[in-house]
Amino acid sequence: MAHWLFKTEPEEFSIADLERSPNGVTRWDGIRNYQARNFIRDKIRINDQVWLYHSKTKHKGISGLARVVKEAYPDPAQWNRQSAYFDPKSEVISPKWYCVDIQHEQTFDSVISLEQLKQDPELCDMLLLKQGRLSIQPISEPEAKHLSSLIA
DNA sequence: GCCAACGTTGGC
DNA sequence: GCCAACGTTGGC
């Protein structure tokens, strides 16, 4: 089982929104970055663990846990002209963009704050703190273990 | 709201 | 296939 960090702006979609979704399941769509797409399409597997990160908000940090319940399938939004994620260059025979479904597992009482991640010697090398713009990123096994210890 | 970092686009 | 211009992300 691998560990991933998914970033979201809580104004758009938060851990609370995920928790309120039917069965706690949502489609993680709208990913339009090739590096993130490749993780989704090629690496993310069912039952992988997802740490949800809230960005662009007052309380920045990791807000909860989810699990991958459906592996990569073509993101339907790419073919929906009404969608903000519509991509006229994507053809049905060779989809450009993929998504997965994730299910809510836990909402933390308080987020593991960005500040806390930076100050923690075990976490200060997380990709999140280096490659700011990547919205889907791997979390190493030791990092995931350490994160788990913080919420236990 | 500013702006640094960095991904994407498109002319050549 | 280089690279300047442009757009977006996201912390501050």
Of A47, A49, A146, A56, nearest in space to A106 by CA: A49
Query: For the whole prediction, is pTM greater than 0.85?
Result: yes
Of A78, A46, A74, A51, nearest in space to A62 by CA: A51
Give yes or no for a contact between A51 and A62, defined as CB atoms under 8 angstroms apart. yes
Output the distance from A1 CA to C11 C1' rounded to whole Å.
Answer: 31
Give yes or no for a contact between A39 and A4, defined as CB atoms under 8 angstroms apart. yes
Residue A50: predicted pLDDT = 98
Q: Is the pLDDT of residue A152 over 80?
A: no
pLDDT (tens digit per residue) in A62-80: 999 999 999 999 999 999 9
Q: Residue A43 is encoded by which pair of tokens?
A: 């690496």
The protein residues having a beta carbon less than 7 Å from any atom of strand B are: A 33-35, 130-134
pLDDT band at A81 (very low <50, low <70, confident <90, very high): confident
Q: Is the dihedral of CA A40, A42, A47, A50 positive or negative?
A: negative
Which nucleotides in chain C lie less than 7 Å from some protein C-beta? 8-12
pLDDT (tens digit per residue) in A100-114: 999 999 999 999 999
Mean pLDDT (whole number) for A35-49: 96
Question: What is the Cα–Cα distance from A51 to A6, expressed in whole angstroms?
Answer: 6
Output the distance from A116 CA to B4 C1' rounded to whole Å.
Answer: 23
Q: Is the pLDDT of residue A10 over 90?
A: yes
Residue A16: predicted pLDDT = 97
Nearest nt by C1' to A115 Cα: C11
